[in-house]
Structure 1
Amino acid sequence: MPIFTVAIPFYNDQNYLSKAITSCLHQEFQESFEILLINDGSSDASLKIAKNFRNCFPEKIRLINLKENKGVGFVRQRAVEAAKGDYIVWADADDVQCPQRLKTIRRFFKENPDVDICLHDCYFIDKEGRPIDKQLKWPKSFEENPLYFEIKRNYFFIGFSAQRAGLNIPFRSRCRDFPEDYDFILRALFKNKKLKLIPEKLSHYRIHGKNRSNRHSYTYRATKEILEGLNLSELSKMLQNSSCLKEKEISLAICELLMTKENFKEALEKLKNGNHNCFYSNFMQGVCYFFLGNNKDSALYFDRAYSLDSTEPSVQNNLGVLKYKMGEVESAVELLKNALQNKPDYLDAQRNLKVASNGRNSLSITKKPLRLSWVY
């Protein structure tokens, strides 16, 4: 039986698939491993490429061919069910694996027998394979409580991960682009599966403009759907059991989830009871008051947040929206322009500035502070 199943789902990846498979074949790992290719109904030459590799390396490569496009969640679950290895290592069809990847992951699991899932660092390359000067940066205490950080944003890139077989955390697929990795890791952490980082770069992540992570509007809707399914009572207990989290951090995380569920009244009550006079608390109260129809108090709390950080683009945008609604058009336009100066690709501010310039009143606020990217 192989130690590893290297699973490579693919869908119309003819430009990159050969390099992805070749990098998996050229591993320094001396023990047994298999490569499992899963075609998700490709209409280009990807299937032909996969068959050629399978025919050249029949003892190493297996191929599952789905005639219809089922979505990556469905495909990953098929891979889990078909895998013969003790561990499943995920590799994306547009990425390139470093030759020491399997060897390093094997050593890691031997040294950490209590870990269920590992996640490692990566290099960045462009669509031509040229290096890009970007780095990943996880929060300092991410390993101490990954659930806390994951409910705030998704740090889990499944293409940089490996997991023990038999975790019994099935991948789900509600639609073709459903973010199955985020759904998977949240449910795994909720079941107390242990996640740990390998601080080594073991893959080359290709940025080419078609990455699913670039589809921001869909990702937001799907993330909202995933977070709405969390049990707040159980989550609160799990977070309170963490020695690395302060009561303030737990309280704000619960309030954020209440707001995701659009329970603004309860979130506002918790925020006021917590008496947290920080940027984030004031920002969240501004959002709650806005959606409860109280523009006056919404502006008050966004103004307080602005006094604590006057350069944060989302508070500039939101305060600009409130100023506009109260008839202070010049101040509103200036704030929106400042937001775009600090973040030129800020879509809410772009739209609001255009709407305000046309004298219309359909401006919208941003519900969360613009998070600092973990890619820098």
Structure 2
Amino acid sequence: METPRLIGMTSRPRFSVVIPCYNEERYLTDALLSLRKQDFDGEFEVVVVDNNCTDDTAGVARDFGAVVVTEPTPGVCNARQAGTLAARGEIVVSADADTVYERDWLSRIDAGFRADERIVAVVGPCTYADGPRWGRYFGRGLFGAVNAVYRATGRAVYASATNIAFRRDAWTGYDTGLTQGGDELDQLRRLRGKGRVVYDHANPTFTSGRRLARGFMYNVFVSLVVHYLLTYTVNRIAGRRVFGQAPAFREDFR
């Protein structure tokens, strides 16, 4: 049976959904199935970046009609940079392989951009689809605070890299000297410098809780404080990659 393609045949689709991957064949199918079921009535493409995969990630992506780009330099910013450079859409949507998306996800993003031509980005939260209860509470608390700040100030201070959409002509690149945080904090900073960034708290994505498998203490003090906040801050101040990429998590709760 022929597999339906995710994209149409126009020269420039409305959206390019960019998904960086390192050995994600196990999760990618669910992500692509959720994208196939989108109720958005325009055209969009999916760009999957093979970032040194040793499994059949690329084969899964091609079976769904996705564009596959190879990026040999490891790191999420390198992968997103390569995927965005290959993207043909008016709007690039940053997504992840271990994440699924509601049917109206792209439609809501589209409506956000159409509300005001000065909007350069529409971003949103994510929630853990599985894993320990504390992880889900943590996510709700984090993005609840982000939403409160946005409602009070109009400033989007954080968004998940699973849920950042931006106009291609407002994009100034990813800083490939950065690792964790480079595709979220730094990208938001750059986009705010180009225009208005809208935070849509009612349009979440649903991501795997596999990264929580090592427990609360590890995730707060090692993953968040060291691998994310400290690494991002030091690398950005230094202007180069002083601290490298955090270990890739492949534990899960399935």
**TM band (smaller chain):** 0.7 to 0.9
Counterpart selection for 2:67 from 62, 69, 81: 62
**TM-score normalised by the chain length of structure 1:** 0.51
- % of aligned pairs identical? 19
Distance 1:125 1:115 in 2: 29
Q: Does 1:120 align with 2:128?
A: no
Shift in Å at residue 23 of structure 1?
Answer: 0.8
Distance 2:124 2:179 in 1: 26
Q: Does 1:169 align with 2:172?
A: yes
Paired amino acid for 2:55: D
Corresponding residue of 1:52: 63
Q: Does 1:96 align with 2:100?
A: yes
Structure 2, gaps ≥5 residues long: 1-11, 214-218, 240-254
Counterpart selection for 1:38 from 49, 56, 62: 49
Counterpart selection for 2:183 from 172, 180, 184: 180
Kindly name which structure, 1 or 2, has the bigger radius of gyration based on alpha carbons. Answer: 1
TM-aligned CA distance change 1:52 to 1:109, over 3 Å: same
How is 1:259-298 mapped onto 2 (pairs within 5 angstroms)?
A: none
Tell me which moved more, 135-144 or 7-16: 135-144
What is the aligned length? 214
Aligned to 1:196, what secondary structure does the other structure show?
Answer: strand
What does the per-residue CA deviation read over 1:14-57, in whole Å, with 9 as the maximum and x for residues that have no partner? 22111011111111011111111111111123223223223xxx
Corresponding residue of 2:225: 216
Distance 2:19 2:95 in 1: 5
TM-aligned CA distance change 1:221 to 1:40, over 3 Å: same
How is 1:263-342 mapped onto 2 (pairs within 5 angstroms)?
A: none
Corresponding residue of 2:207: 205
CA RMSD of aligned residues (A): 2.9
Structure 1, gaps ≥5 residues long: 55-60, 231-376
Mapped contact 2:22–2:50 kept (Cα < 8 A): yes
Counterpart selection for 1:2 from 3, 13, 19: 13
Corresponding residue of 1:193: 195
TM-aligned CA distance change 1:165 to 1:120, over 3 Å: same
User: Which structure dedicates a bigger proportion of its chain to helix?
Assistant: 1
Shift in Å at residue 177 of structure 1?
Answer: 4.9
Moved over 6 A (4+): 210-213
Counterpart selection for 2:149 from 116, 141, 145: 141
Distance 1:42 1:53 in 2: 18
Higher relative contact order (CA 8 A, sep 6+): 2
Corresponding residue of 2:4: none
What does the per-residue CA deviation read over 1:325-349, in whole Å, with 9 as the maximum and x for residues that have no partner? xxxxxxxxxxxxxxxxxxxxxxxxx
Corresponding residue of 1:156: 159
TM-aligned CA distance change 1:100 to 1:109, over 3 Å: same
Paired amino acid for 1:205: T
Mapped contact 2:175–2:182 kept (Cα < 8 A): no
How is 1:244-255 mapped onto 2 (pairs within 5 angstroms)?
A: none
Counterpart selection for 1:27 from 30, 35, 38: 38
